[in-house]
Chain A
Amino acid sequence: MNLRENWRIVMLVVFVLASTFALFGPAGAPDAGANNSSSYGAATGPTNLQFGLELAGGSRIRAPLVGTTAEDLDIEQGQRSSIRQTVGDRLNVSAGDVSVVLNADDGDSVEVLVENVSEQQFRAALTEAGLDGEAATIRGGVTAQTRQQTVETITAKINRGGLSGGQVATQRSATGENYVVIDVPNANTTEVLNLIGDEGEVSIVATVPVEADNGTVYRNQTVLTNRQLEDSQIGIAQTNDAGQPYVPITLTEDAARNYSQDLVDLGFTSSEATGPQSCRYRQSPEDPGYCLYTTVDGEIVYAAGLDPGLAEDIESGEFETAPSFIMQTRSIDEAQRLQVNLRAGALPTRLAVEDGTVLFLQQSLGDRFKWQALLTGLIAWLAVSGSVFLRYKNPRVALPMLATAAAEVYLLLGFAAAIGLPLNLSYIAGFIAVIGTGVDDLLIIADEILNEGEIATGRVFQSRFRKAFWVIGAAAVTTIIAMSPLAFLSLGDLQGFAIVTIVGVLIGVLVTRPAYGDVLRNLMLSEEQRD
């Protein structure tokens, strides 16, 4: 066999081998968990195929976040706390439910994280807080920052709750609604919802060395309670211009007053307490010096000393008028963990489960669907085989055709394994659709080549093949056009169906169907005729 002439067949073989490697190879699939919300990381079973929730079992909760956001505002850093206080008072909600986000995509924003905020009252409240309330854009939902924060908090809670492999992500629908999607394998919905609802008690505790008769002892005092932290605004973990990661915090006026009073009383603002070595918790937890601990359910998750500049502000009373400070960390990871911990008590806002979707599937049902779907696909393929054989009665035409159709599905499976696509039922439907369109196209090729009488030369063959390809190409483009709305609109499960169909059509047109043409030529033409 001349390899150069049959390069299409060679290409098909290469692709089949690559698929085999992707499906069964030791390298396994890349960690899909990083970029796909519905896969469960490591593959199980004999192949590298990953299964989505419908075939693996577990829970998915998809719900919007409660809140109303005013965008296109212009806010000064120092105004934050007064805005929260004023808007909160005016709308009759706690200041902890009002959040000010600076430098968001759409200018500065104020969001109110409760239900049923009237647009009119919100505008009035903003105006009262010294902002241009009339010019603001008011929309339902929360800011991207709050969504991100929610995702991080839920992720932390699920991992802490021992539900391994859970994934949380945000999803934007084509109509512009934003949802949080929580996928947890092997857990039922009630478990997941309970876990998310659970609150951890977070507080900030100051520890100071006190000289006693028998040496130094430490005295601990809570300076910010769980309640006060919930009312304050915990910002997003970020990095400043110098590359220093931190979490910004803005307290309410009341909390700020108590906090600064306590710190002054405890001697935290003295020169002894504010030096760079004032908190030595990391080096010697037994003898930490002056430290501020962040604790979750009594466990210390973060420790730091007081910055001299902040100590000065607290002493001078300036802190009370602008009660914002930052907690510095050594890495952005630590900053993110700290941010989640500071908020471990509550999600920034409520997950409106009643406005979303809930899916739970026992693992056994998922397993059953797996082999049933496989069986359905096989039977469909057999039905196709039956009609093809009845039509051609020539195994030389029919067998390669069926093999090619099977190869198409095999390549698709390899593709799915390679990119770590989590298979769901809709994908199986996509595979079956691909068999359907695939065989259609192969029939067109076979008929075009065989039906017009003897094939005298390789050139005649080429010309007929090209004619067949015009129809196939047009049909392929139509299918892709018909499927692309589904691929882009997030109609839940159907997105996967559309993507599989489109990829399948592309694999078919570019790889398998041309190869089938070459196979037919080899079967139909003698050695001399091919030249």
Chain B
Amino acid sequence: MVEFVVPEPDYDRYSNRQLAAVPLAVLALALLVLAGWTLMTGTPVTPGIEFTGGTEIQVATDASQSEVRQSLDFEIDSVQPIAGSNEYIVTTQATDSDAISSAARSAGYEIVSVQSRSASFGADAQRLALIGIGVAFVGMSLLIFALFRTFVPSIAVVASAFSDIVIPLALMNVFGIKLSLGSVAALLMLIGYSVDSDILLNNHILRRRGSFYESTYRAMQTGVTMTVTSISAMTVMWIVSSLFGIPLLPDLAIVLVFGLVADLMNTYMLNLSLLRWYKYEGVAR
């Protein structure tokens, strides 16, 4: 049987610098990707049709994927088949849903669903999403500072939450995932999820008796289980919902998987090294 044992890493062997170097390097790389993407495309991540405007139409037909692509006379972004059915999801930047529907009808396809969003509406949504993430992040930071009332532990939590959001954003570019409402929801949820294990770690180290490494290991046992549990839930959610072709859920799940994996690294390397520095050197000075 598979054992689920949280490993007890030998933190003594690594200096704080060494520990923090890995997550910081990954964060720097992620920021680099985002900066490069901004230079090349004008935005840090490619917005999907929910933010740029466009139409997504789902049609039922016996035609093949390439036949579908050829038979429709509007500019097509992608044609994606849905597993276990004879349906395809076609996306386009065009927004005249009436014209698109009639093009699909005249090609002989049955229209299962149509969703279109104007460019102006999309731009509005883009602004709102940015505001939303910003407000959520600032609110979270203020709360963390209010809870711990000390600078280093608080900034450690905020920094790893920041990295937890930036790394999935960069990964979205790498894997060609566009920003959708689902991924925005995931980024916001990451703020909540990421802080969970950080608070747990801080709390154990700062407020409990017992040695630093003892407290760390206890927090890790719970925290790693929490994160791994969430990762497993989101992984199956991603697999199942993308096979079914359910909207919203796959984007949400995959971005959460990215973020939670990043969170494992950030919590137990970045946050931990900052805490250890604070405990042994910061306070002492």
Q: With an 8 A cutoff between CB atoms, is B14 at the interface?
A: no
User: Can you offer 23 A-B residue contacts whose CB atoms are under 8 A?
Assistant: A189-B101, A357-B117, A357-B118, A360-B101, A364-B112, A369-B246, A379-B236, A383-B229, A383-B235, A391-B225, A429-B252, A436-B193, A436-B230, A437-B196, A447-B222, A471-B203, A475-B196, A478-B196, A481-B143, A482-B136, A482-B189, A485-B188, A494-B184
Report yes or no: B225 in contact with A433, Cβ–Cβ below 8 A.
Answer: no
**Chain A residue at smallest Cβ distance from B137:** A482
Q: With an 8 A cutoff between CB atoms, is B228 at the interface?
A: yes
Q: With an 8 A cutoff between CB atoms, is A275 at the interface?
A: no
Q: With an 8 A cutoff between CB atoms, is A524 at the interface?
A: no
Report yes or no: B143 in contact with A478, Cβ–Cβ below 8 A.
Answer: yes
Report yes or no: B244 in contact with A376, Cβ–Cβ below 8 A.
Answer: yes
Question: Which range holds the interface residue count of chain A?
Answer: 35 or more
Q: Taking beta carbons and an 8 Å cutoff, which residues of A are in contact with B?
A: 54, 62, 173-175, 177, 188-190, 193, 354-362, 364-365, 368-369, 372-373, 375-376, 379-384, 386-388, 390-391, 425-426, 428-429, 432-433, 435-437, 439-440, 443-444, 447-448, 451, 470-471, 474-475, 477-479, 481-486, 489-494, 497-498, 501
Q: With an 8 A cutoff between CB atoms, is B106 at the interface?
A: no
Of listed A383, A470, A498, residue having the most chain B CB within 10 A: A383
Report yes or no: A360 in contact with B124, Cβ–Cβ below 8 A.
Answer: no
Report yes or no: A177 in contact with B196, Cβ–Cβ below 8 A.
Answer: no
Report yes or no: B236 in contact with A475, Cβ–Cβ below 8 A.
Answer: no
Q: Which residues of A have CB within 8 Å of B185?
A: 426, 429, 486, 494, 497-498
Of the candidates B4, B101, B182, B225, the one whose C-beta lies within 8 Å of that of A429 is B182
Chain B 82-120: CB-based contact to A (< 8 A → 1; otherwise 0): 000000000000011110010000000001111111101
Which label, helix, strand, loop or mixed, suits the secondary structure of the B interface? Answer: helix
Q: Give Cα distance in the complex from A490 to B129, angstroms.
A: 10
Report yes or no: B96 in contact with A491, Cβ–Cβ below 8 A.
Answer: no
Known: A175-B128, A355-B121, A387-B225. A481 touches B113 (CB 8 A): no
Q: With an 8 A cutoff between CB atoms, is B265 at the interface?
A: no
Report yes or no: B233 in contact with A376, Cβ–Cβ below 8 A.
Answer: no
**Chain A residue at smallest Cβ distance from B5:** A391
Report yes or no: B192 in contact with A365, Cβ–Cβ below 8 A.
Answer: no
Report yes or no: B114 in contact with A485, Cβ–Cβ below 8 A.
Answer: no
Give B178-210 interface residues, CB cut-off 8 Å to A. Answer: 181-182, 184-185, 188-189, 191-193, 195-196, 199-200, 203
Q: Give Cα distance in the complex from A524 to B87, angstroms.
A: 53
Q: Give Cα distance in the complex from A491 to B4, angstroms.
A: 39
Q: With an 8 A cutoff between CB atoms, is B218 at the interface?
A: yes
Report yes or no: B232 in contact with A354, Cβ–Cβ below 8 A.
Answer: no
Q: Give Cα distance in the complex from A375 to B239, angstroms.
A: 12
Q: Taking beta carbons and an 8 Å cutoff, which residues of B are in contact with A?
A: 2-4, 50, 58, 95-98, 101, 111-118, 120-121, 124-125, 127-129, 131-133, 135-136, 139-140, 143-144, 147, 181-182, 184-185, 188-189, 191-193, 195-196, 199-200, 203, 218, 221-222, 225-226, 228-230, 232-237, 240-241, 244, 246-249, 252
Q: Which residues of B have CB within 8 Å of A492?
A: 50, 125, 181
Q: Which residues of A have CB within 8 Å of B192?
A: 437, 475, 478-479, 482-483
Q: Which residues of B have CB within 8 Å of A387?
A: 4, 225, 228-229, 232
Q: Which residues of A have CB within 8 Å of B234?
A: 380, 436
**Chain B residue at smallest Cβ distance from A485:** B132
Q: Give Cα distance in the complex from A498 to B241, angstroms.
A: 20
Which label, helix, strand, loop or mixed, suits the secondary structure of the A interface? Answer: helix
Q: Give Cα distance in the complex from A486 to B97, angstroms.
A: 27
Report yes or no: A365 in contact with B4, Cβ–Cβ below 8 A.
Answer: no
Report yes or no: B132 in contact with A355, Cβ–Cβ below 8 A.
Answer: no
Of the candidates B3, B113, B188, the one whose C-beta lies within 8 Å of that of A483 is B188
Known: A429-B252, A475-B196. A383 touches B236 (CB 8 A): yes
Report yes or no: B232 in contact with A384, Cβ–Cβ below 8 A.
Answer: yes
Q: Give Cα distance in the complex from A362 to B241, angstroms.
A: 19
Report yes or no: B114 in contact with A175, Cβ–Cβ below 8 A.
Answer: no
Report yes or no: A380 in contact with B237, Cβ–Cβ below 8 A.
Answer: yes
Known: A189-B114, A354-B96. A470 touches B120 (CB 8 A): no
Q: Give Cα distance in the complex from A356 to B53, angstroms.
A: 9
Which 8 A-B residue pairs are closest in the complex by CB-CB distance? A390-B4, A479-B192, A485-B132, A482-B191, A481-B139, A447-B222, A482-B136, A440-B226
Report yes or no: B114 in contact with A360, Cβ–Cβ below 8 A.
Answer: yes
Given contacts A358-B114, A379-B236, A390-B4, 13 further A-B contacts (CB under 8 A): A177-B124, A190-B101, A355-B120, A373-B246, A373-B249, A383-B236, A432-B237, A436-B234, A447-B225, A474-B143, A474-B199, A478-B192, A483-B189
CB distance from A116 to the nearest CB of B (A): 15
Report yes or no: A470 in contact with B203, Cβ–Cβ below 8 A.
Answer: yes
Report yes or no: A362 in contact with B112, Cβ–Cβ below 8 A.
Answer: yes
Of the candidates A175, A358, A383, A391, the one whose C-beta lies within 8 Å of that of B233 is A383
Q: Which residues of A have CB within 8 Å of B129?
A: 491
Q: Which residues of A have CB within 8 Å of B195?
A: 474-475, 478
**Chain A residue at smallest Cβ distance from B114:** A360
CB distance from A374 to the nearest CB of B (A): 11
Of the candidates A175, A188, A376, A440, the one whose C-beta lies within 8 Å of that of B229 is A440
Of the candidates B147, B226, B230, B232, the one whose C-beta lies within 8 Å of that of A474 is B147
Q: Which residues of B have CB within 8 Å of A429?
A: 182, 185, 248-249, 252
Q: Give Cα distance in the complex from A436 to B96, angstroms.
A: 39
**Chain B residue at smallest Cβ distance from A447:** B222
Report yes or no: B124 in contact with A175, Cβ–Cβ below 8 A.
Answer: yes
Report yes or no: A376 in contact with B139, Cβ–Cβ below 8 A.
Answer: no
Report yes or no: A376 in contact with B128, Cβ–Cβ below 8 A.
Answer: no
Q: Give Cα distance in the complex from A175 to B125, angstroms.
A: 9
Known: A387-B4, A475-B195, A494-B185. A193 touches B98 (CB 8 A): yes
Report yes or no: A481 in contact with B136, Cβ–Cβ below 8 A.
Answer: yes
CB distance from B184 to the nearest CB of A (A): 7
Q: Which residues of B have CB within 8 Å of A175?
A: 124, 127-128
Q: Give Cα distance in the complex from A473 to B113, angstroms.
A: 42
CB distance from B59 to the nearest CB of A (A): 11
Of the candidates A177, A190, A486, the one whose C-beta lies within 8 Å of that of B188 is A486
Of the candidates B135, B143, B200, the one whose C-beta lies within 8 Å of that of A485 is B135
CB distance from B166 to the nearest CB of A (A): 16
Of listed B101, B127, B136, B147, residue having the most chain A CB within 10 A: B136
Known: A372-B244, A373-B249, A482-B189. A360 touches B113 (CB 8 A): yes
Q: Which residues of B have CB within 8 Å of A490?
A: 128
